[in-house]
Amino acid sequence: MRKPRQQSHRSKAGKPGGKFQKKGGPQKSAPKRSSAKTGGTASGLIRLNKYVANSGVCSRREADVYIAAGNVTVNGKPITEMGYKVKTGDEVRFDGRLLNPEKKEYVLLNKPKNFITTTSDERGRRTVMELISNASRARLVPVGRLDRNTTGLLLFTNDGDLAKKLTHPKHGVRKIYHVELNKNLKADDLRKIKTGLELEDGPVLVDDASYIDNAPKREVGIKIHSGRNRIVRRIFEHLGYDVVKLDRVVFAGLTKKDLPRGHWRYLTKEEVIHLGMIQ
């Protein structure tokens, strides 16, 4: 595995990431977004085709076709009128399926140290939500966890179905970590990791592990699909090593390319499609 290169401040999608700034520093602002409930209108009304599109059924242009064909009902009545507007509380169904108008959003963060992965903390510690506070008006939640001292990729979304898929063990979502230890990793211990270890809560298998190219033997890359708590740290602690640095460089096919530490970016349409195809 190659050591990750220094990244630039632009995202692959060509959009600037939101950077965490020290106190007193300039703050980046996200593009203005319209409210999912109101569609950006002061009256609280939203065009029916936009409501359907925001629910993830189809595009707005396709929604017009389905509306004209009578596939969409509002409060139990078929609506075929172009330009029809619905209000908060209306029950909208597509072919009988109840729709949720909140647009699905996906934000990828390169998490720095000293932030905990939770939406709030009663002890007043800094959370990852501070780092994406200007990314969206939707209620985004982190997918999975990275402990306070672990850095790297963390996905946020309001797509509950996708979040469940990416965290459920049966899907075996792959993650790659760059690990820095307090001492060189012995070749025999590397072999043990690749073969499989028996920890106190059961056996653990890794998909791959190797020294980082052109780096000291204390730097290791490990690919794993287990989602057990602190599993990477525990693997090395079991063999008598302390993890000095732990960085998640790949998550479910997403990478840190062009995403510096503390920055976030929106997923591209292609990346969202890829995640949706995970079985």
Largest CA distance in the chain: 71
Q: How far is CA 162 from CA 98, 143, 168, 189, 265, in A?
A: 18, 9, 10, 36, 18
Question: 159 an active-site residue?
Answer: no
How far is Cα 179 from Cα 220, in angstroms, rounded to an integer? 5
Q: How far is CA 208 from CA 79, 195, 268, in A?
A: 55, 9, 28
Q: Is 167 helix (H, G, I), strand (E, B) or coil?
A: helix
Q: Out of 121, 147, 201, 213, which one is annotated catalytic?
A: 147
- For the chain, the straight-line distance linking the first and the last C-alpha, in angstroms and rounded, comes to 26
Which of 123, 178, 115 is closest to 148 using CA atoms? 115
Catalytic sites, residue numbers:
147
